[in-house]
């Protein structure tokens, strides 16, 4: 039988989602816990990868087992084995051909910028006190919706067949979290390239602080050159927020 796990994690102490030699990963922690609970080696495959220090509010992974599992009891036991930085929300039985990566239709990320320094958000937001023109940044976000090739925002030497993404949302919102002012970027697409969101945010910040204008922002996209885009903002402000499937 195949099952989906809906999960969340604090990525602060991990070298990303994917298993790596001599590195602490989220995938490895979950696989070890599953293997212990099921009493047999069990591998999982996630809906996507997150880099070191990046968090997930909602992530999915699937695994196969010949055991019939009860959701409530299984989730409780698995959470009891996992460290406090990882939590399981749901166990979902699916068809044998269901796939967390290939079946996902939309992925949504948020990036949080902390406008007022506080020690309580240091691992979950990027502190930036500079004055930013949010209106211009949102106009630049609208420009993203008019394009599909985002090679300029991709990490170089990435093994992909193409750089096309259909962005459905790109918007900044000002929010308050525990009496702290945040600037939050919401972005959704059918797929994302490696490093894409952090590079987009860094380039949008250059728009917000007046370093580049809207026309220049669009020319950066058309250039397909990563060197033309802005810097990659710190990982701790980035969250995988939602993954959508047609059958969940």
Q: Which residues are catalytic?
A: 51
Give the pair of three-digit tokens for residue 233.
């903002």
Biggest CA pair distance of the chain:
58
C-alpha angle 215-193-105 in degrees, rounded to nearest 5: 105
**Rounded distance between C-alpha atoms, residue 145 and residue 216, angstroms:** 16
Phi and psi angles of residue 149, each rounded to the nearest 5 degrees, phi first: -90, 115
Question: Mutual orientation of helices 134-144 and 196-208 as an angle, nearest 10°?
Answer: 140
**Residue position matching structure tokens 């992530």:** 59
Chain centroid to CA 110: 8
Q: Are 144 and 167 in contact (CB under 8 A)?
A: yes
**H or E, element range at 180:** strand 180-189
């Amino acid at each position: 039988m195949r099952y989906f796990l809906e999960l969340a994690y604090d990525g602060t102490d991990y070298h990303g989602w994917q298993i790596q030699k001599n590195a602490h990963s989220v995938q490895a922690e979950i696989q070890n816990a599953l293997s212990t609970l099921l009493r047999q080696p069990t591998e999982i495959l996630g809906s996507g990868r997150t880099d070191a220090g990046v968090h997930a509010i909602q992530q999915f992974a699937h695994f196969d087992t010949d055991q019939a599992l009860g959701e409530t009891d299984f989730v409780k036991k698995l959470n009891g084995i996992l460290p406090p930085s990882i939590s399981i929300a749901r166990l979902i039985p699916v068809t044998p051909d269901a796939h967390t990566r290939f079946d996902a239709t939309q992925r949504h990320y948020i990036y949080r910028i902390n406008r007022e320094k506080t020690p309580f958000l240091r691992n979950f937001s990027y502190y930036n006190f500079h004055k930013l023109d949010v209106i211009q940044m949102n106009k630049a976000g609208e420009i993203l919706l008019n394009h599909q090739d985002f090679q300029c925002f991709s990490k170089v030497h990435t093994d992909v067949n193409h750089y096309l993404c259909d962005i459905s949302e790109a918007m900044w919102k000002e929010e308050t979290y525990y009496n702290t002012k945040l600037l939050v970027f919401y972005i959704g697409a059918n797929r994302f390239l490696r490093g894409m969101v952090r590079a987009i945010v860094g380039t949008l910040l250059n728009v917000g602080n007046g370093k580049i204008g809207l026309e220049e922002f669009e020319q950066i996209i058309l250039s397909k050159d990563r060197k033309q885009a802005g810097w990659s903002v710190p990982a701790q402000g980035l969250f995988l927020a939602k993954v959508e499937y047609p059958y969940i």
